[in-house]
Amino acid sequence: MSAGRDAIMGGLRRALKRGAEESDAAARQAVDRRLDAATRGPVPARAQVPPAAQVDLFEAMAVEQAATVTRIPSLEAVPAALADYLKAANLAPKVRLAPSPDLENMPWDSQPLIEVEAGRAQGSDQVSLTGAVAGIAETGTLMLASGPEAPITLNFLPDNHVVVLKASQVVGAYEDGWDRLREIYGRNALPRAINLITGPSRTADIEQTIQLGAHGPRRLHVLLIEDTEPGPRDDDDGP
Amino acid sequence: MDPSPRAFKANAREAVLDPQLKRALAHVKVGFIGKRAKAVARLPEFDALRDAARDIKIHTLDHLDLYLERYEARVTAQGGQVHWCPTAEDARAAVLSICQRVGAKTVTKGKSMISEEIDLNQHLEANGITPVETDLGEYIIQLRGERPSHIIAPAVHLTKDLIEADFRAHHRHLPPERSLEEPRELVEEARGILRERFIAADVGITGANFLVAETGSSIIVTNEGNGDLTQALPKVHIVIASLEKVVPTLEDAATILRVLARSATGQEFSTYTTLSTGPKRPGDIDGPEEYHVILLDNGRSEMLAGPFRDALRCIRCGACMNHCPVYHAIGGHAYGWVYPGPIGAVLTPGLIGIEEAGDLPNASTFCGRCEAVCPVRIPLPKMMRHWREREFERHLTPRAMRAGLGVWAFFASRPELYHRVTGWAMRLLAMLAGRKGRLRSLPLAGGWTQVRDLPAPQGRTFHALWAARNKRTGT
C-alpha cells in the first residue's frame, strides 16, 4: 500500500481512537450492516402515490423545470411524434439515435423525411433520441444509464435531447430508481455513468438570472408512452 | 485585495466601500434567500431530511476509515484507481503525473473547490498544461485571474457589465461590434468557445459532491452540463475529492441530495446529478478510458480528532454565506482563502491554522442564521466561539482586546461592583450624549465611532429592570 494511504489511514485511526480489537470489530459490523441494509431515509409523501398519479407528477415537475412532455400511445408512435416535434421547433429532420434495438426498430420508414443515424454524438448533431431507465416522479427527473446501447454523449452534446420514456418506467422516489438499477444491473455493479436529468441545461452565474442552454441541451423533450392503465386525471382534455 | 486571511480587516474595509461589489452582492440577498425559503416551504419533510442528513454525516465521520476502505475497494473492483494524498502538494503531484503520462496538453475542468484548495491550475500551468475552467462562473473568474468569491456561485461578486468587458478583452477573434448586453448573449458566447475546448481536451477533471462507499461511485451535481461534458469526452477522468465526501449508500446520497439543491439554489433538484463509476466498460462507445480519484486529506484527519469534527459534515451548499450579514456586506474575497462565509470562518483556521486565520471566526455577529439554515445542522456559531477561545488561549488575541477582556472579567466576577459600575457608566454616557442621545466619539471606542455614532444607553440597566419586574410579579 502507498505511503499516502498509510499516512491518511493512520491519521484517521488515531482520530477515531481505533485500536482495541473489540471496538474495531463492532465498528466494522456497524458499517457492514449499514451497507447491506441500504435503509431509506425520509421519503417525501408526494412521491408515495399510485402509479398513475406518479406519472402525472413526473410530467408536472418536468414541465416546471422547462422540459416539454408529449404523451403518445406506443413505441410505434415515436417517429411521427418526433417529426411533429422537429417541425414545431423548426429543426432540421436529422436525428442521432442511441444504438438500441428498441429505438432502431421503430417504424422509421413511416417518416421518410427524417434522416436517422445511430451512434455516439458528434459535435455537429442537433437532435438526439435516447431511451431511459426510469422517470422519477418526485422532481420530474429522468434516469439514464450508459452502456453500449446508450452512449452518454447523446445526453449532453446535441442542442436538443429527446427521451423516450414508458409510463411503466416511472417510479416515485430516487430510492425507487436505485432499486430499478439494482434489479437491472445487480448489486454493486453500476454502469459507468448514471445521469439524473431534470430539465434542460441552465446557469445563473451572471447576476443570478437563469439562462437555459449553458453547455448541455437547450431543450429537453420527453415522449411519454402510455403503456399502463391510465388513472383518473383532472386535466384529461385530449391529445 | 490581499489573498490572505491575515489581511482580513483591511480587505473587509476595502470591500464595504466598493460600490460595484455592493451592487453585485445585492443579488445574493434577493436571489438565494427567497428561492430557498420557497423550496423549503414546498417540502413538508424538509426538517426531517435535515436531521437524517446530519445523522448520516455523523455516522460516516465516526466510521470514516472503514467507509473509505470500502469505497476504495469498490472503485478498484470497477477498474478505477484511488490516489491517497495527505497534502495539497501530494494531490497536485498526483494530478500532474497522470496528465504527463498521457501527454495531456489541455485539461477541461468542472467546478471544484478542492482544486482551488490545492491551487491546481497554477501548478498545471507552471508545467505547460493548460487548464480550462468550464463552469460559466469559473470560466469568467479564470479570465480575470481571480478566485471564486462563493462556493457555488464563483462570480457572484461581478456585475454583467464587468463580464462583458472581460469577454471583449479576451475573445478578440469575435467581431468587436457584437452585442453582449444581455446575459443570454454572454452565455451563448461562452458556450460556443467552451464547446471546442470540451472536444479538444485530453483530460477532464471534476470535483465530487459525494463518494458512495456501496458502489464506488463519485457523484457530481451541476446545472450547466459542463461537468458531464468534462468527464464524457476526454480519454481520462480525474475526480478530486476530500475524505469527508464519502457516504455509505445510494439511499444516503438520496437523502442528502434532497436537502442540497434546495439549500443551495432553491431548486427542487439540480439539472444534472451524475454518478460515475470507473472507466468505460467493454462495448461502451464513449466515456473515459481511465478513472482516477484524488483523495485529499490536507488537515481533515486532524480536524476529525478535535472539537471541529462537526464542520466536516458540510455539503458545500453555500446556504450559510447566502444568509450571512457579514458575507452580504463584504463578499467572499475579503476572507482571503478558499472558503468564505461562516463555514469558511470555521474551516479555514482548521485547515491552515488559527495563526493564519484568527480574524475569520471573529467576523460574525452571532446572529445564528447560518446554523438555522444549515442542511446538516452544523453549529457554526458555537464553533466560531471555540476558535475565539483557542485564539485567546494561545495569546493570539490583540493586546488591547485582552486587556479589555481582563477588565470586563474583573467586574463580571464581582456582581455587586458590576451592577454599580454599569449603572454609573450608563448615566455618564447618557449625560455625554446630551439630548440627541448619540455619541460622536468616545475614548477607546474609536473603531466604532469613526464610521457611525454610538447610541447612548437609555433608562435603567437590565439588572435593575429585571429586579423591578420580579418585585412587581412577586417571583
- Rounded to the nearest angstrom, the minimum Cα separation between A99 and chain B is 10
pLDDT classification of B47: cutoffs 50, 70, 90: very high
In one-letter notation, the amino acid at residue A163 is: V
pLDDT digit string, tens, across residues B290-334: 999 999 999 999 999 999 999 999 999 999 999 999 999 999 999
For B356-388, how does the pLDDT look when each residue is reduced to its tens digit (9 = 90+)? 999 999 999 999 999 999 999 999 999 999 999
Q: Is the predicted pLDDT of residue B396 greater than 90, yes or no?
A: no
What pLDDT shows up at residue B201? 97
The reply to whether A25 touches chain B by the CB within 8 Å rule is: no
Give kind and range of the element (H or E) at residue B290.
strand B290-296
Min CA distance, B215 vs chain A (Å)?
Answer: 5
Residue B8 one-letter amino acid: F
- Is B474's pLDDT higher than 80? no
Residue B32: closest C-alpha in chain A: A208
pLDDT at site A230: 60
> Which A residues 172-211 touch B at CB under 8 Å?
173-175, 178, 188, 190-209, 211
pLDDT band at A200 (very low <50, low <70, confident <90, very high): very high
CA distances from B240 to A196, B123, B297 (A): 21, 15, 11
CB spacing of A16 vs B62 below 8 angstroms: yes
In this complex, do B278 and A192 lie within 8 Å of one another by their Cβ atoms?
yes
- The CATH code for residues B64-298 is 3.40.50.10420
Q: Kindly state which CATH superfamily the domain A46-225 is placed in.
A: NagB/RpiA/CoA transferase-like (3.40.50.10420)
Q: What is the dihedral of CA B218, B219, B224, B227, to 10 degrees?
A: 0
Verify whether the Cβ–Cβ distance A188 to B27 is below 8 Å.
Answer: no
**Residue B448: its pLDDT value, please?**
79
pLDDT at A192 over 90: yes
Nearest-CA residue of chain B relative to A194? B275
Question: What span, in angstroms and rounded, lies between the C-alpha atoms of B330 and A31?
Answer: 43
Contact criterion met (CB < 8 Å) for A215 and B301: no
- Residues of chain B with Cβ-Cβ distance to A64 below 8 Å are 268
**Can you read off the three cell numbers belonging to residue A21?**
480489537
Split at pLDDT 50, 70, 90, the class of B268 is: very high
The residues near B309 (Cβ < 8 Å, ≥ 6 apart) are B61, B303
Answer yes or no: do B274 and A195 touch at CB < 8 A.
yes
**Residue ranges of A 119-178 with Cβ closer than 8 A to chain B:** 119-121, 123, 139-141, 146-148, 151-153, 155-157, 173-175, 178
Asked if B285's CB is within 8 angstroms of A99's CB, the reply is: yes
Provide, rounded to the nearest whole percent, the portion of chain A with pLDDT above 90: 87
Taking CB atoms and an 8 Å limit, are A202 and B70 in contact across chains? no
Report the C-alpha gap between B177 and B187 in whole angstroms.
17
Strand partners, A198: none
Strand B272-276 relative to strand A193-197, pairing? antiparallel
Contact criterion met (CB < 8 Å) for B184 and A211: yes
Closest chain A CA to residue B110: A215
Residue B394 has pLDDT above 70, yes or no: yes
CB A232 within 8 A of CB A78: no
Question: What pLDDT shows up at residue A231?
Answer: 57
Give pLDDT, residue B463.
Answer: 82
Contact B170, B142 (CB under 8 A): no
Q: Which residue has the higher pLDDT, A12 or B1?
A: A12
Nearest one of B297, B244, B215, B225 to B61, comparing CA atoms: B244
Q: Which of B62, B32, B36, B63 is nearest to B50 (CA)?
A: B36
Higher pLDDT: B475 or A224? It is A224
Give the pLDDT mean for B176-191.
Answer: 95
Residue B96 in this model has a pLDDT that exceeds 50: yes
Chain B interface includes A4 (CB < 8 A): yes
pLDDT band at B475 (very low <50, low <70, confident <90, very high): low
Asked if B27 and A201 come within 8 Å (Cβ–Cβ), the reply is no
Q: Does A236 have pLDDT greater than 60?
A: no
B283 closest CA partner among A72, A139, A153, A148:
A148
For residue A66, the chain B residue with the least C-alpha distance is B271
Which of A16-20, A98-102, B58-62 is predicted with the least confidence, judged by mean pLDDT?
A16-20
Q: Considering only the C-alpha atoms of chain B, give the largest distance between any 2 of them, rounded to a whole number of Å.
A: 86
- Condensed to tens digits (0 to 9), the pLDDT of residues B324-357 reads 999 999 999 999 999 999 999 999 999 999 999 9
Interface test with B, best of A48, A180, A215, A220 (most B CBs within 10 A): A215
DSSP letter at A174 equals H
Do B448 and B454 contact (CB within 8 A), yes or no? yes
The pLDDT assigned to B269 comes to 97
Tell me, what's the pLDDT at A111?
95
* pLDDT confidence of residue A105: 95
Read off the pLDDT of residues B73-87 as tens digits, 9 standing for 90 and up.
Answer: 999 999 999 999 999
Contact B381, B343 (CB under 8 A): no
Residue A214, number of CB atoms within 10 A of its CB: 28
Asked whether the beta carbons of residue B154 and residue A119 sit closer than 8 angstroms, the reply is no
Task: Please determine, for residue A238, whether its predicted confidence score (pLDDT) is greater than 60.
Answer: no
pLDDT digits (tens, 9 = 90+) for B98-157: 999 999 999 999 999 999 999 999 999 999 999 999 999 999 999 999 999 999 999 999
B169 to each of A46, A221, B165, B177, how far by Cα in Å?
50, 37, 6, 13
Q: How distant is the alpha carbon of residue B84 from its chain centre?
A: 23
- For residue B455, the surrounding DSSP H or E stretch is strand B454-455
Does the distance separating the beta carbons of A157 and B229 come in below 8 Å? Answer: yes
Q: What is the mean pLDDT of residues A198-225?
A: 94
Q: Apex CA B295: angle with CA B265 and CA A10, to 5°?
A: 125
Could you tell me how many CB contacts below 8 A there are between chain A and chain B?
273
Comparing alpha-carbon positions, the chain A residue that sits nearest to B67 is A31
| pLDDT above 90: residue A235 | no
> Chain A contacts of B278, Cβ < 8 Å?
192
Residue ranges, comma separated, of all CATH 3.40.50.10420 domains in chain B are 64-298
Q: Rounded to an integer, what distance in angstroms lies between the CA atom of residue B113 and that of residue B314?
A: 13
Question: Which of A134, A194, A201 has the alpha carbon at shortest distance from A163?
Answer: A134
- Is residue A184 predicted with pLDDT exceeding 70? yes
How does strand A127-130 pair with strand A115-118?
Answer: unpaired
